[in-house]
Structure 1
Amino acid sequence: MSSVETPKPLPFIYQFLSGAIAGVSEILVMYPLDVVKTRQQLATTDAYNGTIKCIKKIVKEEGFSRLYKGITAPILMEAPKRATKFAANDEWGKVYRKAFGVTTMSQSLAILTGATAGATESFVVVPFELVKIKLQDKTSKFNGMGEVVKHIVKENGVLGLYKGLESTLWRHIMWNAGYFGLIHQVRSIMPKPKSSSEKTLIDLTCGTIGGTFGTVLNTPFDVVKSRIQAGSTRYIWTFPSLITVFKEEGFAALYKGFIPKVLRLGPGGGILLVVFTAAMDFFRTIHEGK
């Protein structure tokens, strides 16, 4: 199996900052698609079918600003979330390479590292995801993050902020395993870049392909996560919820919101990788120049 040369690791703070910059860049560009995805996943009718139709419906009935409602939670989440994603991936990579006595990353190791990083990331994102879902739901009566957090803590205590943790774990394990695993494989067959523009193009291609594949793997888990966090008592645990959706609404329902999700996380995965890599290169010149 082919391997890809692993760059010299940077200190954790540089990985964290690079992930944070990448995450915020992606969310500012792609957030409306996340609102559309959530609406489609929560709907049990065809009211929000079609990405463009859904956007038009939201704008017509609720105003353009609704496409950005709840963005405060993701913005606050993106820095720790994406920073954790990339930093955990790098740190777990070091652990696994040392544990298995290898110096370079293989595809199987990239998948294992990505899955572990996804599980790590989940513990950071659950409260933010829960707040975001509550605000994006059309029936939401909340006006902001503070109201949602206050309500959840009052009703269910602090641990109530971790509702949907199990389904979030599955969602992030699947996405990160697919994303980082496929990035490694695609990079291994790409020619070595001869210029910074070629490097950017390769990163964008690898990230987009990885993001698309990760989305294919994790969308069913994302659908049930959204329903669990929205508050329905019919959806509690991941796999029973998957079966319920499949039996009552058919297989296609497990991929509700797939188009806006893949439109966001395919190119979004490319944006993440390009910005993260550029930031890491920048910090590497600073670090090595000391």
Structure 2
Amino acid sequence: MSTLRTINELIAGSVGGAAQVLVGQPLDTVKTRAQIAPKGMFKGPMDILMQTIRKEGFFALYKGMASPLLGVAGVNSLLFAAYGASKRIISPFPLSLPEIALAGSMAGAVNAVLASPVEMFKVRMQGQYGAESDKRLRVIAREMWLEWGFRKGVMRGYWVTVAKEIPAYAGFYSAYEFSKRKFAAKYGEQNIPVWALLASGSTGGLAYWLACYPLDVVKSRIQLRETPPTGTPVQYIARELGAVVAEGGLAGLFRGLTPSLLRSIPAAASTFAAYELTREWLVKTTGI
């Protein structure tokens, strides 16, 4: 029974993840470019959006989508399955919000295993600005593997991804559950409207970015660099944080936050709505 429940969570997570990528990719591209672009290249998020469309065409906003879309089944399936398993490990009874946050942080740590390479390839695709020398995803993947290998190439930025995902998903799931429980108290657990699931997902998405954004800036910069970081994870994360502050002050740690928050509303809403609706259908179909 537990195996079938996990399979249902894997399937529903895949559907939710695909919805997230399709809805949120354009603003994710704006966010990443705000984080990694050379100083003075863009005036702000709107300038990034307009320059990208004008110079590279509208579909450049979906640059790097192949990586998360190809990997989204694994990443989101792992996330939702790990979250479900974490909840069962913590307690067989309904969890409190602090316990939900703990389960979310556990799921985030597990999720980093797949999220790190998916993010790394996406960031390196988004860090190209329409020049003739721009590379396709398969070329970038081959070069990273051949030049740096698995740990320093494909998994570059893994430890900062772990550091980011733990607080991010603690905030994500606890905010989502808080909002969902408020709606459940009003409408009943089985009668929560779709718009309420969308609103709860949006709340979770906002909490996700507010909990981890400076570390996401560090992650993007590390993953884009020509060479891998040196030293221990604590050392190179601290070093990169210092470099960001030196270049742009404390505000540099939040470059691209606005498009991230704007993206999180439709992206997280669609993720959870798609997940919950798919999960509900699977429960009715399988009985578990």
Quick check: TM above 0.5? yes
Q: Is the 8 A contact 2:23 2:266 kept in 1?
A: no
Give the 3-state SS of the residue equivalent to 2:91 in structure 1: helix
Is 1:161 aligned to residue 147 of structure 2? no
Q: What is the rounded CA distance, in whole Å, between the counterparts of 1:126 and 1:149 in structure 2?
A: 13
CA drift at 1:95: 0.7
Is 1:179 aligned to residue 169 of structure 2? no
Correspondent of 1:137 among 127, 144, 161: 127
Deviations 1:190-223 (A, max 9, x none): 3342597743122111111111011111111110
Q: Is the 8 A contact 1:10 1:284 kept in 2?
A: no
CA drift at 1:9: 9.7
Correspondent of 1:66 among 57, 60, 63: 60
Q: Is the 8 A contact 1:119 1:173 kept in 2?
A: yes
Q: What is the rounded CA distance, in whole Å, between the counterparts of 2:85 and 2:117 in structure 1?
A: 24
Deviations 1:3-27 (A, max 9, x none): xxxxx99611110010000110121
Letter in 2 for 1:37: K
CA drift at 1:186: 2.3
Query: What is aligned with 1:123?
Result: 113
Give the 3-state SS of the residue equivalent to 2:39 in structure 1: coil
Q: What is the rounded CA distance, in whole Å, between the counterparts of 2:255 and 2:68 in structure 1?
A: 21
Deviating 4+ runs (over 4 angstroms): 194-198, 232-236
CA drift at 1:269: 1.4
Task: Assess, with a 3 A threshold, how the Cα gap between structure 1 residues 39 and 197 changes in structure 2: closer, same or farther.
Answer: farther
Q: What is the rounded CA distance, in whole Å, between the counterparts of 2:74 and 2:279 in structure 1?
A: 16
TM-score (norm 1): 0.89
1:24-39 matches, cutoff 5 A = 24-39=18-33
Task: Assess, with a 3 A threshold, how the Cα gap between structure 1 residues 196 and 105 changes in structure 2: closer, same or farther.
Answer: closer
CA drift at 1:154: 1.2
Query: What is aligned with 2:224?
Result: 230
Q: What is the rounded CA distance, in whole Å, between the counterparts of 1:261 and 1:123 in structure 2?
A: 22
Q: Is the 8 A contact 2:214 2:254 kept in 1?
A: yes
Q: What is the rounded CA distance, in whole Å, between the counterparts of 1:285 and 1:11 in structure 2?
A: 12
Q: Is the 8 A contact 1:246 1:254 kept in 2?
A: yes
Task: Assess, with a 3 A threshold, how the Cα gap between structure 1 residues 83 and 192 changes in structure 2: closer, same or farther.
Answer: farther
* Structure 1: gaps (5+ residues): 1-7
Query: What is aligned with 1:262?
Result: 261
Letter in 2 for 1:216: L
Query: What is aligned with 2:143?
Result: 151
Q: Is the 8 A contact 1:19 1:83 kept in 2?
A: yes
Query: What is aligned with 1:112?
Result: 102
Q: What is the rounded CA distance, in whole Å, between the counterparts of 2:228 and 2:271 in structure 1?
A: 35
CA drift at 1:253: 0.7
Instruction: Compare 197-206 and 175-184 and name the one that shifted more.
Output: 197-206
Deviations 1:72-124 (A, max 9, x none): 111012111111111111111101115xxxx1110110111001100100001
Q: What is the rounded CA distance, in whole Å, between the counterparts of 1:90 and 1:187 in structure 2?
A: 16
Q: What is the rounded CA distance, in whole Å, between the counterparts of 2:26 and 2:71 in structure 1?
A: 16
Is 1:85 aligned to residue 85 of structure 2? no
CA drift at 1:55: 1.1
CA RMSD of aligned residues (A): 2.2
Q: Is the 8 A contact 2:37 2:127 kept in 1?
A: no
**How many residues of Structure 1 are paired with residues of Structure 2 in the alignment?**
278
Instruction: Compare 62-71 and 89-98 and name the one that shifted more.
Output: 62-71
